[in-house]
Amino acid sequence: MASGARHGVSGVPDARRAVEATWRIDSARIVGALARYTGDLALAEDVASEALAEALVAWPRDGRPRDPTAWLLATARRRAIDAFRRRAGRDDRYAALGRDLAEGQTHAGAAPSDTGETDLLWDPDRIEDDRLALIFTACHPVLSKEARVALTLRVVAGLSSDEIARAFLVPRATVQARITRAKKTLGAARVPFEVPTAADRPERLGSVLNVLYVIFTEGATASSGSDWMRTDLASEAIRLARVLRRLAPREPEVAGLLALLELTAARFPARTGPDGEPVLLADQDRRRWDTGAIRRGRAALARAVGAGRGLGPYGLQAAIAEQHAVARSVQDTDWERIVVLYEALGQVAPSPVVELNRAVAVSMAAGPAAALEIVDDLVAREVLGGTYLLPSVRGELLSRLGRRDEARAELELAARLCGNERERGVLAAKAAALR
Amino acid sequence: MGKYMLIMRASDEGRAAYEEMDFTEVIAAMGRYNEQMMDAGVLTAGEGLADAAEGAVVDFSTDTPVVTDGPYGETKELFNGFWILDVASQAEAIEWAKRAPLSGPGTKLEVRRVHGEEDFPADNEWIQKEKQWRQELGTE
């Protein structure tokens, strides 16, 4: 392996970046291996962070070690031994763990760059399980949603508190407090560091997928420009979904989620106009869609379909996104297929928003009258009250049916309810056009 | 986040040393490297090139292009293959490059950022056409 020390010593910022890059690549495996060995994710994260801090001092001073991953793992392990020894007075269990860890160290010598030292922890057969356990633990249902997101970005993606804080537009202290609290919660609930058993797996996997989806939408709803760090969150979620797909290749919903994220992100280049204004799907310049992302998304979706167990909610949303991705225009879109997919989505994950989207698809496939029936049913059931979505769709349908006065009233109502200034302007203009 | 290309280059000696190596081992080492990048969710493309001696060079130095058989120039730094990575930073791309199972005199990896759409004027008709071609080709 090339030493590459030149990058490490060419200047402090360069060296710092190199350490951080190593961290991004290796931290999940390091924290995962330590957590498995100590059975304590909080401790593993603490000592791994200490090792990172040490690397930030040592590498610029002494040059990059020959095997940076082994260096970080060995350093973290020494910190763990120290921590265990400190706790040994209180608890014999820690004394034994400390001894075990230290024994491994004496076997192989103490030089931090010696890869042999880490053999005890670095079990190639366990690395994948360790990383999977890390993801499941960071997304444990005992944690709040904010805590799951922060902990996942920290321990699985290897982001710093600063990066997470910038991405979520919150102070760094808030992120640190969330992570500290999350680690305490896991400890207090005695959450074991392991891949969940088959019985728990569907629910636990659901939580993991939800966390990745939340990270993605947090980034996807951000606009470009000064929000660059927020849009990077979407890329981060895709990267995590790719990692998870490799770790859990037989879970169709993992492939389904990856497909949904890739196919959604494929539209990002076209979703804002020259002045940063949002461009609706119907008006997007489809030539600007990222064809590579579409290709990857379709490949992932084919995997999900190929599992032969039927598509789940993410897979079905991906299948809908695929129909848009392959259509040259709105007119060219297979709306009948989309209606069928929305029907299936309504079966596995019923929600008024899905019904409303189905109504829009029906209006494209079969005309506004059929769609209005679905929308009127939603109105009668008094769901989706208080949001502008229902009156805006109903107003559109009425307008297409030539019922101008009713359409105008609905669109005016939608404009009043809409929280987004730009969209409110569009709705008001549509209403005014019906006078 | 950004895309980076790792460009594999080798001198004649490096190339010769490479050919001395056990092909099965080379494939295994490259396979493990590629697998690491797949597992990390960063690898999006990669190709290796056949021997430059099989190739040809079209030289535009004169009014009419001149075609010569064989490799480009002095064969000191032949372009032998590439990876395209989707990573958080140039530093991360460099870190991945350092981990490539390469060795030998004159063997190098060049790390280059791949242009994104943001680098070009979006309203230029040729840039727009290019997007369309990429769609037809199914490439990025």
In this predicted complex, what is the ipTM? Answer: 0.74
The answer to the question of residue B123 being in a domain is no
Tell me how far apart the alpha carbons of residues A425 and A406 are, in angstroms, rounded to a whole number. 19
Q: Enumerate residues 6+ apart whose C-beta is below 8 A from B23.
A: none
Q: Do A288 and B131 touch (CB under 8 A)?
A: yes
Q: Domain ends where: A72, A97, A120? A: A120
Residue reference for tokens 């490297």: B33
Statement: residue A273 has pLDDT above 70 = yes
User: Considering only alpha carbons, which residue of chain B is nearest residue A15?
Assistant: B91
Same domain, A24 and A131: no
What digits encode the pLDDT tens for the residues A353-407? 999 999 999 999 999 999 999 999 999 998 887 888 899 999 999 999 999 999 9
CATH number at residue B108: 3.30.70.1060
Mean of the pLDDT values across residues A187-199?
Answer: 92
Of A108-117, A119-128, B103-112, B130-139, highest mean pLDDT: B103-112
The predicted structure's pLDDT at residue A242: 96
- Position B73 pLDDT exceeds 70: no
What residue has token string 């060296």? Answer: A15
| B40–A240 C-beta distance less than 8 A | no
pLDDT confidence of residue B71: 77
Provide, rounded to the nearest whole percent, the portion of chain A with pLDDT above 70: 86
Give the pLDDT of residue A410: 95
Confidence band, pLDDT 50/70/90 cuts, at residue A108: very low
- What the block records as the tokens of A279 is 């461009």
C-alpha distance from B98 to closest chain A C-alpha (Å): 6
Is the CB of A269 less than 8 angstroms away from the CB of B99? no
pLDDT band at A90 (very low <50, low <70, confident <90, very high): low
A1-10, A219-228, A302-311, B127-136: the lowest-pLDDT one? A1-10
Q: By the 8 A CB rule, do B40 and B130 touch? A: no
Among the partner residues B92, B100, B103, nearest to A21 by beta-carbon distance: B92
Which of B99, B117, B138 has its CB closest to that of A295? B138
Question: Which one is predicted more confidently, A89 or A210?
Answer: A210
CB pair distance less than 8 Å for B1 and A241: no
Residue-wise pLDDT tens digits, A210-240 = 999 999 988 877 644 444 557 789 999 999 9
Distance, CA of A285 to CA of A143 (rounded, Å): 41
Would you call B92 an interface residue with chain A, using a CB distance cutoff of 8 Å?
yes
B38 lies within 8 A of chain A by CB: yes
- Residue B122 is predicted with a pLDDT of 64
State the pLDDT at residue A226. 46
Q: In this structure, how many other beta carbons lie within 10 angstroms of the beta carbon of residue A291?
A: 20
- pLDDT at residue A368, rounded to an integer: 96
Q: What is the mean pLDDT of residues B9-30?
A: 83
Identity of the amino acid at A208: V
Q: Is A150 inside a domain boundary?
A: yes
Q: What is the pTM of this model?
A: 0.84
Residue B137 falls inside a structural domain: no
Compute the residue count for chain A: 435
Whether residue A7 lies within 8 A of chain B, CB to CB, comes out as: yes
pLDDT tens-digit profile of A337-351?
999 999 999 999 999
pLDDT tier at A118 (50, 70, 90 boundaries)?
low
Among candidate residues A120, A138, A167, the one where a domain is terminated: A120
Give the C-alpha separation, A106 to A100, whole Å: 10
Rg for chain A (alpha carbons), in Å? 26
Number of A:B CB contacts under 8 A?
A: 80
- Does B109 map to a domain? yes
Contact residues, A window 275-314, toward B, CB-based 8 Å cutoff: 285, 287-292, 295-296
* Same domain (yes/no): A26, A103: yes
What pLDDT does residue A52 have?
Answer: 94
Tokens (6 digits) for A200: 């728990």
Q: Do B89 and A17 touch (CB under 8 A)?
A: yes
Domain around A61: 5-120
Q: Which one, of B116, B117, B127, B128, lies nearest residue A286 by Cα?
A: B128
Q: pLDDT grade, residue A96 (50/70/90)?
A: low
The answer to whether the CB of A295 falls within 8 A of the CB of A301 is no
Q: Is residue A355 part of a domain?
A: no
Return the closest-CA partner of residue A383 out of A346, A426, A411: A346
Residue A62: pLDDT over 50:
yes
Residue-level pLDDT at A122: 63
A114 lies in the same domain as A188: no
Domain count, chain A: 2
Contact residues, chain B, for A295 at CB < 8 Å: 138
Residues A146 and A38 in one domain: no
Q: How confident is the model at residue B29 (pLDDT cuts 50, 70, 90)?
A: very high
Per-residue pLDDT at B139: 61
Average pLDDT (B122-132) is 71
pLDDT score at A115: 46
Residues A70 and A136 in one domain: no
Cβ distance A232 to B1 under 8 Å? yes
C-alpha A107/C-alpha B4 separation (Å) is: 41
Residue B53's pLDDT is: 83
d(CA A181, CA A187) in angstroms, rounded, equals 10
3-state SS track over chain A: CCCCHHHHHCCHHHHHHHHHHHHHHHHHHHHHHHHHHHCCHHHHHHHHHHHHHHHHHHHHHHCCCCCHHHHHHHHHHHHHHHHHHHHHCCCHHHHHHHHHHHHHHHHHCCCCCCHHHHCCCCCCCCHHHHHHHHHHHHCCCCCCHHHHHHHHHHHHCCCCHHHHHHHHCCCHHHHHHHHHHHHHHHHHCCCCCCCCCCCCHHHHHHHHHHHHHHHHHHHHCCCCHHHHHHHHHHHHHHHHHHHHHHHCCCCHHHHHHHHHHHHHHCCHHHCECCCCCECCHHHCCHHHCCHHHHHHHHHHHHHHHHCCCCCCHHHHHHHHHHHHHHCCCCCCCCHHHHHHHHHHHHHHCCCHHHHHHHHHHHHHHHCHHHHHHHHHHHHHCCCCCCCCHHHHHHHHHHHHCCCHHHHHHHHHHHHHHCCCHHHHHHHHHHHHHCC
Whether residues A61 and A139 fall in one domain: no
Q: Contact, A403 vs A368, CB < 8 A?
A: no
Q: What is the pLDDT of residue A2?
A: 39
The more confident residue out of A411 and A227 is A411
pLDDT at A99: 66
A70 with A25, same domain: the answer is yes
B120 pLDDT more than 90? no
Q: Taking residues A56-66, what's their average pLDDT?
A: 90
Closest by CA to A213, choosing from A326, A346, A313, A88, is A313
Query: Cβ–Cβ of A274/B122 closer than 8 Å?
Result: yes
Closest CA to A303 of A233, A246, A348: A246
Cβ-nearest to A246 among B38, B88, B117: B38
Round the average pLDDT of chain A to a whole number and report it. 86
Residue B79 confidence (pLDDT) above 70: yes
In a domain, A351, yes or no: no
Is position A70 within any domain? yes
The one-character DSSP state at B23 is H
Specify whether A14 is located in the same domain as A110: yes
A239 in B contact zone (CB under 8 Å):
yes
A144 and A111 housed in the same domain = no
pLDDT at res. B95: 94
Domain that holds residue B57: 2-116
Q: Which of A159, A235, A377, A323 is nearest to B2 (CA)?
A: A235
Distance from the A362 Cα atom to the nearest Cα atom in chain B, whole angstroms? 29
What's the number of CA atoms in the CB half-sphere (13 Å) around residue A269?
Answer: 23
In this structure, the answer to whether residues A79 and A183 fall within a common structural domain is no
Q: Which residue, A94, A120, A146, sits at the end of a domain?
A: A120
> Region B108-133: what's the mean pLDDT?
76
Q: Which helix (H) or strand (E) holds B109?
A: strand B108-113
Chain B positions in Cβ-Cβ contact with residue A274 (cut-off 8 Å): 122-123
The verdict on A12 and A91 lying in the same domain is yes
Whether residue A77 is found in the same domain as residue A159:
no
In a domain, B138, yes or no: no
What DSSP character marks residue B64?
A: S
B133 touches chain A (CB under 8 A): no
Overall number of domains in chain B: 1
